[in-house]
Structure 1
Amino acid sequence: MPGDAGLGSAIVADLRRLWPMLLMGALVLISALAVVWTAYEARQMTNALNQQLQHRDELDIEWRHLLLEEQTLTEHSRVGRMAEKQLGMGRPAPGQEVVVRLP
């Protein structure tokens, strides 16, 4: 087994001589993993942003529909019809009109 001791010492000697390359290789690997992780996080955040934008658009559409509904419900002719039907209101006859004048 004397050859084994020589092989072990040769490996250790090579590792001592090549440690800067091994360090650079490890740093490149760590950098590559960081790039992959960053790209993954960016995709996740882009997906979340797209979902929020879609939700905003849905809320905007709902808001527009509510504005249209509000406009429809507050139309003068509709209010007049509801006053006639539900409250029995109507235009006064010419003889029932009273004009109030301020001094």
Structure 2
Amino acid sequence: MGRLCIVLAVILMVSAISLVTARHQSRQLFVAVEQLEDRSRELDIEWRRLQLERAELARNARIDHIARSDLGMVTATPDRSIYLDHPVTQQGGRP
């Protein structure tokens, strides 16, 4: 009977230690999940900010302003355009 009590006590101690270990691991995993969810929210906010920035950089008015001021470009007018005529061949071939 004494041996049975000792074996049961050892089993109880091992079970208690494994329970404490499992709970500790569970808490660590919960903390890791919370940290990853926070990081996910931060990345989502950064993604939205970058989308707004991209839309701002791609605005036509901004591109036009940069083309005129930095590159010195002007709007093409008919008097500044050169038109080329394509010669017509008789048999549909190339000249």
TM-score (norm 2): 0.76
Shift of 1:92: 2.5
Equivalent residue in structure 2 for 1:24, among 5, 8, 12: 8
Q: C-alpha root-mean-square deviation of aligned residues, in Å? A: 1.8
Shift of 1:79: 0.5
Report the Cα distance in structure 1 between the residues aligned to 2:79 and 2:73, rounded to whole angstroms: 16
| Structure-2 change in CA distance of 1:101 and 1:30 (3 Å) | farther
Shift of 1:74: 1.6
Report the Cα distance in structure 2 between the residues aligned to 1:81 and 1:63, rounded to whole angstroms: 27
Q: Structure 1, residues 60-99: CA drift from partner, whole Å, max 9, x if none? A: 2112211221121122221111111112212133322334
Runs (5+) with no aligned partner, structure 1: 1-16
Work out the number of aligned pairs and report it.
87
Paired residue for 1:45? Answer: 29
2:59 is aligned with what amino acid? E
Greater RCO (CA < 8 Å, at least 6 residues apart): 2
Runs (5+) with no aligned partner, structure 2: 88-95
TM-score (norm 1): 0.71
Equivalent position SS for 2:70: helix
2:43 is aligned with what amino acid? L
Bigger radius of gyration among the two: 1
